């Protein structure tokens, strides 16, 4: 008998057919709106869940007594209570690797757009305000040869370092929970304390996950350590940064600019001061948002769930403790 799967993210026809060959699938459209009620109604029979962008807390998963596995179409796991999943023996899998290069592309796009003031000056042209050759008032800053500081040297951090080191001759410095000799050898990178990196880097890029330890990591004290020429880039999670402190730092020219793909609350409120600052490039959480990468992520998630429901250990298991108690 096929297992019962609740799907709260649309799949391509090919991937839907693959999943349906292994499970009876209930698709919940728009689970963040009225679909949440239908998701709740479907949970009692669910043995597998597949989707993204919904916080699956204990109160919600208590409605799913038969649940065996959750397959997240994402890398971040901050929407899941790992202790709860471990206690129940529910396997959680995610989709690392497949989005690394695409997300690093987004990070470097924000570096270039912020440094060269691409959005601000493109809007000037669009508004018909380009009347003469631009002067120093609209000059940007170079990227090549500048110091790239990366906070969080995981897969995406390494991919960002590769672009900076080999593509733009940027000295690379980084901060993570421990030094990484292989990274240092490959990119001639230097390990720094967080404070030293903030003081030294021209571009300060966050690529670390949201955890209890990293939430609010960058606040008023940290922005005060940065130089007025610094450009701040966040492609990790919005809550790693105190957004009010970031706004103040930008308004008071403590830092030159910011390129932001993530925010404390998403979607970003229309009245956020960030939307009224010319030195901010804001994108709607597009880190992995390409056709190719999103399909690869969904394929990975489907494979993870099929393996888990077949009694096999998923290739991208997040919580091995749950596997041990099964």
Both 247 and 298 in one domain: the answer is no
Token representation of residue 24: 């009876």
Asked whether residue 30 falls in the same domain as residue 163, the answer is: no
pTM of the shown model: 0.94
Mark whether 82 and 194 lie in a shared domain.
no
Task: Tell me, yes or no, whether 255 and 300 share the same domain.
Answer: no
48-51 and 3-7 beta bridge pairing? parallel
* CA nearest neighbour of 117 among 261, 259, 274: 259
Same domain, 250 and 188: yes
Same domain, 52 and 125: no
Per-residue pLDDT of the chain (326 residues; tens, 9 = 90+): 899 999 999 999 999 999 999 999 999 976 665 668 889 999 999 999 999 989 999 999 999 999 999 999 999 999 999 999 999 999 999 999 999 999 999 999 999 999 999 999 999 999 999 999 999 999 999 999 999 999 999 999 999 999 999 999 999 999 999 999 999 999 999 999 999 999 999 999 999 999 999 999 999 999 999 999 999 999 999 999 999 999 999 999 999 999 999 999 999 999 999 999 999 999 999 999 999 999 999 999 999 999 999 999 999 999 999 998 87
**CATH number (domain holding residue 154):** 3.40.50.720
Instruction: Tell me which residues are annotated as active site.
Output: 237, 266, 285
| Shared domain check, 213 and 269 | yes
Strand partners, 233: 205, 259
Q: Which residues contact 134 (CB under 8 A, 6 or more apart)?
A: 121
Q: Which long-range contacts (CB under 8 A, 24 or more apart) does 21-28 make?
A: 22/306, 22/309, 22/310, 23/47, 23/48, 23/305, 23/306, 23/309
Q: Tell me which residue range forms the domain holding 42.
A: 3-96+291-324
Number of domains in the chain: 2
Same domain, 85 and 167: no
Based on the fold, state whether residues 161 and 250 are members of the same structural domain. yes
């Amino acid at each position: 008998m096929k297992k019962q799967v609740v799907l709260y993210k649309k799949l391509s026809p090919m991937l839907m057919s693959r999943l349906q060959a292994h499970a009876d699938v209930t698709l919940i459209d728009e689970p963040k709106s009225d679909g949440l009620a239908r998701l709740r109604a479907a949970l009692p029979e669910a043995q597998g869940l597949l989707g993204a962008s919904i916080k699956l807390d204990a109160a919600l998963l208590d409605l799913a007594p038969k649940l065996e596995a959750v397959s997240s179409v994402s890398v971040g796991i901050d929407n899941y209570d790992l202790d709860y999943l471990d206690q129940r023996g529910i396997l959680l899998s995610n989709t690392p690797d497949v989005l690394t290069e695409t997300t690093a592309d987004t990070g470097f796009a924000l570096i270039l757009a912020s440094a060269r003031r691409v959005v601000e000056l493109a809007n000037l042209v669009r508004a018909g305000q380009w009347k003469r050759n631009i002067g120093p008032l609209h000059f940007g800053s170079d990227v090549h040869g500048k110091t790239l500081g990366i906070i969080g040297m995981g897969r995406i951090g390494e991919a960002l370092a590769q672009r900076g080191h080999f593509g733009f001759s940027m000295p690379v410095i980084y901060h993570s929970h421990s030094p990484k000799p292989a990274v240092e050898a490959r990119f001639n990178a230097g390990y720094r304390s967080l404070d030293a990196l903030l003081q030294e880097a021209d571009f300060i890029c966050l690529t670390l996950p949201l955890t209890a330890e990293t939430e609010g990591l960058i606040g008023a004290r940290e922005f005060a350590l940065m130089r007025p020429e610094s450009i701040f880039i966040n492609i990790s999670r919005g809550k790693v940064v105190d957004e009010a402190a970031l706004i103040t730092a930008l308004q008071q020219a403590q830092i030159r600019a910011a390129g932001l793909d993530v925010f404390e609350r998403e979607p970003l409120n229309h009245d956020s001061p960030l939307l009224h600052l010319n030195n901010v490039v804001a994108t709607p959480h597009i880190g992995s948002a390409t056709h190719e990468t999103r399909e690869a992520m969904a394929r990975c998630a489907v494979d993870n769930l099929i393996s888990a429901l077949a009694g096999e250990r998923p290739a991208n298991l997040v919580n091995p403790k749950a596997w041990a108690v099964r």
